[in-house]
Amino acid sequence: MNTISCLIQADGPAAGLREELERRLRAHHAGHLDGEEAVVSWRLVEPGHMFTAGSPSSSAVITCTMAGPTTRSGREAYMRRICDFWTEVTGCTDHEIVVSITETGGASPKHTEERS
């Protein structure tokens, strides 16, 4: 099952627009991936817990998982569209949106675990 996880600021505009954003995310995902469904989840960050460039954050972080392999152009189109409707719905700027894709069934990200 594909997933879309949205980390948003509890006091930001996206928090009150989740229903519309989720509808758009589902429709976009299905349209881009031949009707595939995605489970959308939300995490609200309370003020004082997240920072961008060392200052209180207004960013949204959207993490999408889908079956790999994906192409660079396909990923770019997929993420570009999310940025477009996210800014349209919320009024935020491109610089307040981070979108990433994680492939399932592909190569795992590299990890470095360290403890002292």
Query: Which residues contact other proteins (rule: CB under 8 A)?
Result: 7, 45, 48-57, 59, 61, 72, 75-76, 79-80, 82-83, 94-95, 97-103, 109-116
Nearer to other proteins, 19 or 113 (CB): 113
Q: What is the CA radius of gyration of the chain?
A: 15
| Chain CA centroid to CA 29, Å | 12
Residue whose tokens read 């960050």: 45
96 burial via Cβ count (<10 Å: 0-12, 13-18, 19+): buried
Nearer to other proteins, 35 or 55 (CB): 55
Exposure letters 73-82 (e unless 16+ CB within 10 A, then b): eebeebbebb
Nearer to other proteins, 8 or 40 (CB): 8
Q: How far is the CB of 17 from other proteins (least distance, A)?
A: 19
Nearer to other proteins, 35 or 54 (CB): 54
Q: How far is the CB of 14 from other proteins (least distance, A)?
A: 15
